[in-house]
Structure 1
Amino acid sequence: MKSVKEKLNGVISPIVTPFVDQEVGYKMLEENILKMNKTKLKGYMPLGSNGEFKSLTDEEAIKVVEVVIKNRSKDKTLIVGAGRESAKATIEFIKKINDVGEIDFASVLTPNYFPSKMNDEALIKFYTTVADNSPVPIMIYNIPKSANGVMISPKAISELSLHENIVGIKDSSKEDIANYVNAVPADSNFYVLSGSITKFLDGLKKGSIGGVLSMANYLPDLCCEIQELYNQGNYIEAEKLSSRLCKLNSKISGAGGVVAVKTAMNLLGYKGMEPRIPLLPLKDKEIEEIKMALQEEGFIE
């Protein structure tokens, strides 16, 4: 049986939810998973930001999880987004997705509807309550830009990392990732993952063990190669590849978010399809700019 570290050590793809005429394209999701099974990815994370989880009904979300469970290779780690605004609702949703089939971890976004009240005390109470009652280990999802500015502090992480059912954090904040790594006691079974390609290599240098990277939806093996090169001690090549992908990312996800990620997927043989309203499709000019960026890097002709 794999350890927590073995399950999280690598690149996780935050799976997108394809929509066609505003309905979930479950068959297209299945095709994406089957194709990604052949890559070096460590695993998948459906129902995150890239999965537009806030735009799904609970019924749709559960069916998305069913499709991923049914089609993923057994060696791929599965983290499922499960954050809700209350501890009670979060616990209930984790139990629902756990009833669908085997998942490894539940990713729990910081609650953020009452941002001024989300201090260390409140967040520690929230995550402790969820972890005490969750049937699967949980990971903390720290993304202030999408969570009303709420950011969990390294000080709170130092306490939460001691809980046996809290195993990691996906950090998509602007905080120095070293502050989270250094907050974790040496004997803790708790690990830090980078939440973007821009923090990925820096995170590895500072002690993180992997990343949940939107770019892994359309260039999965190259994202994995950064970590491979770093682990081999080939730091110059790792820096070169990281710089190349970060530059490309600034023209795709950095410029257009989830919708741009879906566009890049569509251009590179995956089924990103369209976003769900209120997100709008890119304009023709914006699609052309992404196409040109991929052409410049030799990814499409």
Structure 2
Amino acid sequence: MQKSTIPNKSHPLPPGVYTPVLSLYEPNPTQDIDHEAMYKHAQHLVRGGMHGLVYQGTNGEAALLSREEKIAVLKNIRKAVADLGVPDYPIVAGVSGQSTNESIQLTKDAAEAGASFGLLLPPSFWAKAVTEDVLRGFYRDVADESPIPIVCYNFPGVTSGVDLNSDDLAALATHPNIIGTKLTCGNVGKAIRLTSQFTPAQFSVFGGSSDFLYPTLAAGGVGCVTGMGNVWPKSTARVYDLYVAGELEEARRLQEVVASAEWACKKSLALTKFGAGHFVGKKIGFEDPRTWYPRKPYAPAGEKLQAWTVEVMGVLEVEEARIPDRVFKGKGTNGVNGSK
């Protein structure tokens, strides 16, 4: 297929593995945001080699957070990465609203709070009314007004089945402020149809989880956004690092282990949060399991599923332990993924 001749985007999303970061809560009846826990978790993920962080996506329980909470979280995280010495580290914010008006406001809030990019789901409240014209018009209208570049987020499981197909995404790729897509639909064929038309500089394709990261990269994609990064950031990031270094056999071996561990994340967000609390909570000083609960009305995992999660995710414990932390020598001296 002939490659597109559209211009390269002026601010593309850097390639790599991104974590859609969990929202952590105070262990009190109203489950207020625990900003200290989120600050330390963010720094843990960056030290673990993540190439970027995503906040207020599906794993971040965006639908359960207020506008004010979203702004406060982003400001706190921008401070967390700046304090590590990487002030320009890529932070992506979920900016998904049901109306065009709300989504535009969320992009402005995110930009002012320190986010570099916006991740946008399609509207879905009246799914039958989301025609092709409505869908494409929504993205274009938001992108027209957004002060930050937009990544199209395709996850039919949380949008009443509304699914951005490859024709939709190819049409949206021509917009100068729409820079790529995250395919949580898991459709590698869709990824190939897009990468056959566009270079990453024109329109980047990211997988929506790490269990098909290797196939995504082989298909011409540039990375993934994976909930597994909340638990095992070093191992998930390393699949990408090995692949781009040309160590394909080792990348594939590690991919197989990562895919096995991520099965727990596929079951439910409650299991992702439990796994993160179990394996990461002690490392960052937040061992109270309630910090890692979903926000009500959603319930934490029961004991049987907790035990199963430890077993399934635990296959990466040895891998994670032998990968060193990324070390920072001071502000501006050891950039990450394009940071200065």
Output the TM-score relative to the length of structure 2.
0.81
CA 132–149 in structure 1, closer or farther in 2 if over 3 Å, else same: same
Q: How many angstroms apart in 1 are the aligned matches of 2:308 and 2:256? A: 19
SS at match of 1:24: coil
Are the aligned partners of 2:192 and 2:220 in contact in 1 as well (CA < 8 Å)? no
SS at match of 2:47: coil
Q: How many angstroms apart in 1 are the aligned matches of 2:297 and 2:275? A: 20
CA 239–87 in structure 1, closer or farther in 2 if over 3 Å, else same: same
Q: Unmatched 5+ residue regions in structure 1? A: none
1:125 alignment partner in structure 2:
137
2:327 alignment partner in structure 1:
none
Q: How many angstroms apart in 2 are the aligned matches of 1:97 and 1:8? A: 18
2:168 alignment partner in structure 1:
156
Q: Does 1:273 align with 2:292?
A: yes
Q: Unmatched 5+ residue regions in structure 2? A: 1-8, 322-340
Per chain length, whose mean CA-contact separation is higher, i.e. which structure has more relative contact order (CA < 8 Å, sep 6+)? 2
SS at match of 1:268: helix
Q: Does 1:13 align with 2:19?
A: yes
1:284 alignment partner in structure 2:
303
SS at match of 2:182: strand
CA 87–183 in structure 1, closer or farther in 2 if over 3 Å, else same: farther
CA 168–287 in structure 1, closer or farther in 2 if over 3 Å, else same: same
2:126 alignment partner in structure 1:
114
| Number of residue pairs aligned between Structure 1 and Structure 2 | 296
Are the aligned partners of 2:260 and 2:312 in contact in 1 as well (CA < 8 Å)? no
Q: Which runs of 4+ in 1 moved over 3 A?
A: 2-5, 182-188, 294-301
CA shift, 1:188, in A, is 5.9
Output the TM-score relative to the length of structure 1.
0.91
CA shift, 1:247, in A, is 1.0
Are the aligned partners of 2:127 and 2:160 in contact in 1 as well (CA < 8 Å)? yes
The match for 1:261 among 253, 272, 276 is 272
CA 99–237 in structure 1, closer or farther in 2 if over 3 Å, else same: same
CA shift, 1:75, in A, is 4.6
Q: Does 1:49 align with 2:58?
A: yes
Q: How many angstroms apart in 2 are the aligned matches of 1:94 and 1:296? A: 38
CA shift, 1:179, in A, is 4.2
The share of aligned pairs that are identical, in percent, is 24
Q: How many angstroms apart in 1 are the aligned matches of 2:49 and 2:62? A: 25
Letter in 1 for 2:44: K
Q: How does 1:1-301 map to 2 (within 5 A)?
A: 4-5=11-12, 7-19=13-25, 20-21=27-28, 22-72=31-81, 73-101=86-114, 103-175=115-187, 176-182=189-195, 184-186=197-199, 189-250=202-263, 252-255=264-267, 257-270=268-281, 273-299=292-318
What's the Cα RMSD here? 2.1
Q: How many angstroms apart in 2 are the aligned matches of 1:32 and 1:297? A: 19
SS at match of 1:193: strand
Are the aligned partners of 2:191 and 2:205 in contact in 1 as well (CA < 8 Å)? no
Are the aligned partners of 1:161 and 1:188 in contact in 2 as well (CA < 8 Å)? no
C-alpha distance after superposition, 1:206-263 (max 9, x if no partner): 011011110011111111111122112222221211111111111x1122x2211111
